[in-house]
Amino acid sequence: MQLIPDAYSIAKELGATLHLARDEQNRVVLEYISTLHVGENRGVGSQIMKDIVLWADMQGEPIILYPSPEIPNSFEMTRLLHFYNKFGFIGDSLSMERKPNSNKGSL
């Protein structure tokens, strides 16, 4: 889904993987973002997320995501949820949603 050209091109340029889609209710779903091949804690995921939420704010689109059920332990899940919380997502380990403009101006 070529919704967000900047986020996709940044992901590709940096060696990360990103996939967005629309669900049956036409909501934007962040299905997959991975920086495994790039290395963690280098800001790649944050840069991609900034572009995604900027686009969502400009389009007035909420974003839905479902944190990975493959997270090995509660510490890692807490880190993941904190990462998404920084970008305005609210929810739990089953699903999270970000309303448009909920984090505007703080990125």
pLDDT one-digit tens code per residue, 13-56: 777 888 888 888 888 899 888 876 666 667 888 888 888 898 88
Cα gap 83→85, rounded to integer Å: 5
pLDDT of residue 104: 52
| Mean local confidence (pLDDT), 65-92 | 89
For the entire predicted model, the pTM comes to 0.79
Identify which has the larger pLDDT, 72 or 85: 85
pLDDT of residue 70: 77
pLDDT of residue 90: 96
% of the chain surpassing 90 pLDDT: 21
